[in-house]
């Protein structure tokens, strides 16, 4: 007899653990740039646009989505800025994956809409 496993809950748990392990201790650790051009390394963006202009709203949002999904802890701290994240979150939390959203909002209640 074959056993059927509910893979969706185990995948969700793995994703939450993955994103949770990368979190900074506090939002104050997010000291990334507020303006100008930012080039993301290949381990974050391996194809497509790698250079973003933070002064252009769509590119800023795209950079934040990408870094939240693919960045390691040092990347989060170095590329994201606390004030910008707080400003973008009301829209950004609708554009990122569920696991990322839940992990960040549980860790940092000030992000909750």
Report residue 1's pLDDT band, with 50, 70 and 90 as the boundaries: very low
Coil, strand or helix at 7: helix
pTM of this prediction exceeds 0.85: yes
| Gap between the Cα atoms of 81 and 36, Å rounded | 13
- pLDDT recorded at residue 3: 46
Tens digits of per-residue pLDDT, 29-87?
A: 999 999 999 999 999 998 888 999 999 999 999 999 999 999 999 999 999 999 999 99
DSSP string, 46-110: SSS--EEETTSHHHHHHHHHHHHHH--HHHHHHH-BHHHHHHHHHHHHHHS-HHHHHHHHHH-GG
Extract long-range pairs of 40-48: CB within 8 Å, 24+ residues apart. Answer: 40/66, 40/67, 40/75, 40/79, 41/75, 43/70, 43/72, 44/70, 44/71, 44/75, 44/79, 45/70
Name, in order, each residue with C-beta under 8 angstroms of 98's C-beta and a sequence gap of 6 or more: 12
């Amino acid at each position: 007899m074959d056993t059927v496993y509910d893979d969706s809950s185990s995948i969700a748990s793995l994703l939450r653990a993955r994103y949770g392990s990368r979190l900074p201790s506090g939002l104050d650790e997010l000291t990334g740039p507020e303006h100008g051009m930012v080039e993301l390394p290949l381990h974050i963006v391996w194809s497509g646009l790698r250079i973003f202009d933070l002064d252009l709203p769509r590119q800023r949002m795209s950079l934040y989505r990408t870094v939240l999904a693919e960045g390691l802890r040092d990347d989060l701290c170095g590329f994201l800025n606390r004030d910008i994240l707080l400003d973008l979150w009301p829209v950004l939390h609708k554009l990122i994956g569920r696991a990322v959203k839940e992990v960040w909002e549980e860790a940092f209640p000030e992000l909750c809409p």
